[in-house]
Amino acid sequence: DGGITQSPKYLFRKEGQNVTLSCEQNLNHDAMYWYRQDPGQGLRLIYYSQIVNDFQKGDIAEGYSVSREKKESFPLTVTSAQKNPTAFYLCASSADTYHSGNTIYFGEGSWLTVV
Amino acid sequence: AQKITQTQPGMFVQEKEAVTLDCTYDTSDQSYGLFWYKQPSSGEMIFLIYQGSYDEQNATEGRYSLNFQKARKSANLVISASQLGDSAMYFCAMREGYNAGNNRKLIWGLGTSLAVNP
Protein backbone atom coordinates (compact mmCIF):
# COMPACT_ATOMS: atom_id res chain seq x y z
CA ASP A 1 0.00 0.00 0.00
CA GLY A 2 1.21 3.51 -0.75
CA GLY A 3 1.68 5.76 2.20
CA ILE A 4 3.86 7.47 4.75
CA THR A 5 5.42 5.50 7.57
CA GLN A 6 6.68 7.14 10.72
CA SER A 7 8.61 5.41 13.46
CA PRO A 8 8.67 5.04 16.32
CA LYS A 9 5.11 5.78 17.35
CA TYR A 10 6.19 6.57 20.91
CA LEU A 11 9.61 7.76 21.99
CA PHE A 12 11.01 8.84 25.32
CA ARG A 13 14.08 11.02 25.52
CA LYS A 14 16.26 11.95 28.41
CA GLU A 15 17.24 15.56 28.68
CA GLY A 16 20.42 16.29 26.77
CA GLN A 17 19.95 13.48 24.27
CA ASN A 18 19.41 13.72 20.55
CA VAL A 19 16.71 11.55 19.02
CA THR A 20 15.83 10.84 15.41
CA LEU A 21 12.33 10.30 14.08
CA SER A 22 12.06 8.30 10.91
CA CYS A 23 9.78 9.14 7.97
CA GLU A 24 9.54 7.06 4.80
CA GLN A 25 7.13 7.49 1.90
CA ASN A 26 6.44 5.33 -1.15
CA LEU A 27 4.15 7.79 -2.90
CA ASN A 28 6.93 9.02 -5.18
CA HIS A 29 6.39 12.54 -3.82
CA ASP A 30 9.06 15.16 -4.30
CA ALA A 31 8.16 17.31 -1.30
CA MET A 32 8.29 16.25 2.33
CA TYR A 33 7.52 18.10 5.55
CA TRP A 34 7.82 17.89 9.31
CA TYR A 35 5.21 19.45 11.55
CA ARG A 36 4.96 19.77 15.29
CA GLN A 37 1.63 19.76 17.07
CA ASP A 38 1.05 21.05 20.60
CA PRO A 39 -2.36 21.22 22.29
CA GLY A 40 -4.33 24.29 21.27
CA GLN A 41 -1.70 25.50 18.81
CA GLY A 42 -2.53 23.66 15.63
CA LEU A 43 0.30 22.52 13.38
CA ARG A 44 3.58 24.34 13.02
CA LEU A 45 6.08 23.69 10.23
CA ILE A 46 9.57 22.67 11.33
CA TYR A 47 11.33 21.87 8.05
CA TYR A 48 10.38 21.03 4.51
CA SER A 49 12.16 19.66 1.48
CA GLN A 50 11.17 20.24 -2.11
CA ILE A 51 13.74 17.91 -3.62
CA VAL A 52 16.51 15.50 -2.68
CA ASN A 53 19.54 17.11 -1.03
CA ASP A 54 17.67 20.34 -0.40
CA PHE A 55 15.61 21.53 2.56
CA GLN A 56 14.41 24.77 4.09
CA LYS A 57 13.60 25.92 7.59
CA GLY A 58 9.99 26.34 8.54
CA ASP A 59 8.58 28.46 11.32
CA ILE A 60 10.16 26.64 14.29
CA ALA A 61 13.39 25.04 13.03
CA GLU A 62 15.58 25.92 16.03
CA GLY A 63 16.73 22.80 17.84
CA TYR A 64 15.89 20.49 14.96
CA SER A 65 17.84 19.13 12.00
CA VAL A 66 16.89 17.13 8.91
CA SER A 67 18.45 15.41 5.94
CA ARG A 68 17.11 14.41 2.54
CA GLU A 69 19.56 11.97 1.01
CA LYS A 70 16.88 9.88 -0.66
CA LYS A 71 13.57 10.83 -2.18
CA GLU A 72 11.69 8.41 0.07
CA SER A 73 13.23 9.42 3.36
CA PHE A 74 13.18 12.59 5.47
CA PRO A 75 14.39 11.91 9.04
CA LEU A 76 14.05 14.54 11.75
CA THR A 77 16.57 14.85 14.57
CA VAL A 78 15.44 16.56 17.73
CA THR A 79 18.61 17.88 19.29
CA SER A 80 19.40 18.73 22.89
CA ALA A 81 19.15 22.38 21.85
CA GLN A 82 15.37 22.03 21.55
CA LYS A 83 14.25 23.23 24.97
CA ASN A 84 10.70 21.93 24.91
CA PRO A 85 10.61 18.90 22.63
CA THR A 86 7.65 17.07 24.15
CA ALA A 87 5.05 17.11 21.38
CA PHE A 88 3.38 15.16 18.61
CA TYR A 89 5.39 15.13 15.37
CA LEU A 90 3.80 14.62 11.98
CA CYS A 91 5.62 13.88 8.76
CA ALA A 92 3.93 14.64 5.46
CA SER A 93 4.52 14.64 1.73
CA SER A 94 3.05 16.10 -1.43
CA ALA A 95 3.71 15.81 -5.15
CA ASP A 96 5.40 19.21 -5.10
CA THR A 97 5.10 22.65 -3.56
CA TYR A 98 4.48 24.54 -6.77
CA HIS A 99 0.73 24.16 -7.10
CA SER A 100 -1.68 25.48 -4.54
CA GLY A 101 -3.89 22.44 -5.01
CA ASN A 102 -1.32 19.77 -4.25
CA THR A 103 -2.65 17.81 -1.32
CA ILE A 104 -0.35 17.09 1.60
CA TYR A 105 -0.66 13.58 3.00
CA PHE A 106 0.40 12.67 6.51
CA GLY A 107 1.88 9.78 8.39
CA GLU A 108 0.44 8.50 11.65
CA GLY A 109 2.67 10.67 13.79
CA SER A 110 5.22 10.14 16.54
CA TRP A 111 4.78 11.08 20.19
CA LEU A 112 7.98 12.34 21.78
CA THR A 113 8.19 12.74 25.54
CA VAL A 114 11.15 14.09 27.49
CA VAL A 115 11.67 12.32 30.78
CA ALA B 1 -3.23 38.26 11.95
CA GLN B 2 -4.87 34.86 11.71
CA LYS B 3 -5.16 33.73 8.14
CA ILE B 4 -7.38 30.76 8.96
CA THR B 5 -10.06 31.14 11.62
CA GLN B 6 -12.12 28.32 13.02
CA THR B 7 -14.49 29.95 15.48
CA GLN B 8 -15.98 26.77 16.98
CA PRO B 9 -13.62 25.12 19.48
CA GLY B 10 -16.15 22.35 20.05
CA MET B 11 -19.31 21.08 18.40
CA PHE B 12 -21.87 18.41 19.23
CA VAL B 13 -24.12 16.66 16.74
CA GLN B 14 -26.61 13.85 17.00
CA GLU B 15 -25.87 10.71 15.03
CA LYS B 16 -27.38 10.74 11.52
CA GLU B 17 -27.77 14.52 11.51
CA ALA B 18 -25.78 16.98 9.41
CA VAL B 19 -23.24 19.37 10.89
CA THR B 20 -21.40 22.41 9.55
CA LEU B 21 -17.91 23.31 10.71
CA ASP B 22 -16.93 26.91 10.04
CA CYS B 23 -13.74 28.18 8.45
CA THR B 24 -12.92 31.69 7.30
CA TYR B 25 -9.70 32.68 5.62
CA ASP B 26 -7.76 35.77 4.71
CA THR B 27 -5.63 36.13 1.61
CA SER B 28 -4.93 38.69 -1.05
CA ASP B 29 -3.99 36.02 -3.59
CA GLN B 30 -6.36 35.14 -6.40
CA SER B 31 -5.04 31.60 -6.58
CA TYR B 32 -5.24 29.48 -3.46
CA GLY B 33 -6.42 26.13 -2.23
CA LEU B 34 -8.47 25.20 0.81
CA PHE B 35 -8.24 21.87 2.59
CA TRP B 36 -10.01 20.07 5.38
CA TYR B 37 -8.38 17.38 7.48
CA LYS B 38 -9.71 15.07 10.17
CA GLN B 39 -7.63 14.04 13.15
CA PRO B 40 -9.07 11.22 15.30
CA SER B 41 -7.72 10.50 18.75
CA SER B 42 -5.13 8.16 17.24
CA GLY B 43 -3.37 11.26 15.88
CA GLU B 44 -3.19 10.57 12.16
CA MET B 45 -4.13 13.56 10.00
CA ILE B 46 -6.54 12.41 7.31
CA PHE B 47 -7.21 14.46 4.18
CA LEU B 48 -10.94 14.94 3.55
CA ILE B 49 -11.60 17.46 0.82
CA TYR B 50 -10.05 20.18 -1.32
CA GLN B 51 -11.45 23.34 -2.93
CA GLY B 52 -9.52 25.48 -5.40
CA SER B 53 -10.16 29.19 -5.56
CA TYR B 54 -11.08 28.97 -9.23
CA ASP B 55 -13.40 26.00 -8.84
CA GLU B 56 -16.92 27.13 -9.63
CA GLN B 57 -18.65 24.23 -7.96
CA ASN B 58 -18.47 23.27 -4.33
CA ALA B 59 -16.28 20.23 -3.73
CA THR B 60 -17.91 17.01 -2.55
CA GLU B 61 -16.41 13.73 -1.34
CA GLY B 62 -18.95 11.21 -0.17
CA ARG B 63 -20.59 12.57 2.99
CA TYR B 64 -18.30 15.61 3.00
CA SER B 65 -19.01 18.79 1.10
CA LEU B 66 -17.38 22.17 1.18
CA ASN B 67 -19.60 25.23 1.20
CA PHE B 68 -17.31 27.68 -0.58
CA GLN B 69 -18.36 31.33 -0.44
CA LYS B 70 -15.55 33.24 -2.07
CA ALA B 71 -16.87 36.74 -1.47
CA ARG B 72 -17.25 35.99 2.24
CA LYS B 73 -13.92 34.14 2.31
CA SER B 74 -15.49 31.17 3.97
CA ALA B 75 -14.98 27.46 3.34
CA ASN B 76 -17.27 25.58 5.69
CA LEU B 77 -17.21 21.80 5.90
CA VAL B 78 -20.56 20.06 5.87
CA ILE B 79 -20.76 16.49 7.11
CA SER B 80 -24.04 14.78 6.26
CA ALA B 81 -25.53 11.84 8.14
CA SER B 82 -23.02 11.99 11.00
CA GLN B 83 -21.58 8.74 12.27
CA LEU B 84 -19.97 7.92 15.62
CA GLY B 85 -16.65 7.54 13.80
CA ASP B 86 -16.81 11.18 12.76
CA SER B 87 -15.91 12.23 16.31
CA ALA B 88 -12.52 13.88 15.90
CA MET B 89 -10.69 17.19 15.52
CA TYR B 90 -11.21 18.90 12.17
CA PHE B 91 -8.70 21.32 10.73
CA CYS B 92 -9.11 23.82 7.94
CA ALA B 93 -5.97 24.82 6.01
CA MET B 94 -5.05 27.08 3.12
CA ARG B 95 -2.22 27.12 0.63
CA GLU B 96 -1.74 30.41 -1.16
CA GLY B 97 -0.63 30.83 -4.74
CA TYR B 98 2.86 31.61 -5.83
CA ASN B 99 4.54 34.81 -4.71
CA ALA B 100 8.21 35.58 -4.48
CA GLY B 101 9.39 34.41 -1.10
CA ASN B 102 6.23 32.45 -0.46
CA ASN B 103 7.02 28.80 -0.01
CA ARG B 104 3.35 27.93 -0.33
CA LYS B 105 3.24 25.99 2.86
CA LEU B 106 -0.10 25.14 4.39
CA ILE B 107 -1.54 27.65 6.85
CA TRP B 108 -3.58 25.95 9.55
CA GLY B 109 -6.52 26.82 11.71
CA LEU B 110 -6.64 25.76 15.36
CA GLY B 111 -9.29 23.14 14.75
CA THR B 112 -12.80 22.24 15.85
CA SER B 113 -13.50 19.27 18.07
CA LEU B 114 -16.59 17.38 16.91
CA ALA B 115 -18.43 14.93 19.13
CA VAL B 116 -21.14 12.75 17.62
CA ASN B 117 -23.72 11.60 20.14
CA PRO B 118 -25.54 8.28 19.72
Q: How many CB atoms lie within 10 A of CB B112?
A: 21
Q: A104 to chain B: nearest residue by CA?
A: B47
Give A100→chain B minimum CA distance, Å: 5
Q: Say whether residue B109 is in contact with chain A using an 8 A CB cutoff.
A: yes
Q: Say whether residue B45 is in contact with chain A using an 8 A CB cutoff.
A: yes
Indicate if the pLDDT at residue A4 is higher than 90: yes
B9-65 per-position pLDDT tens digit: 999 999 999 999 999 999 988 888 999 999 999 999 999 999 999 988 999 999 999
Q: B39 to chain A: nearest residue by CA?
A: A108
What does the pLDDT read at residue B100?
A: 45
Tell me how far apart the alpha carbons of residues A24 and A92 are, in angstroms, rounded to a whole number: 9
Find chain B residues with C-beta within 8 A of A40's C-beta: 110
How big is the CA angle at B69 (ends B68 and B70), to the nearest 5 degrees? 105
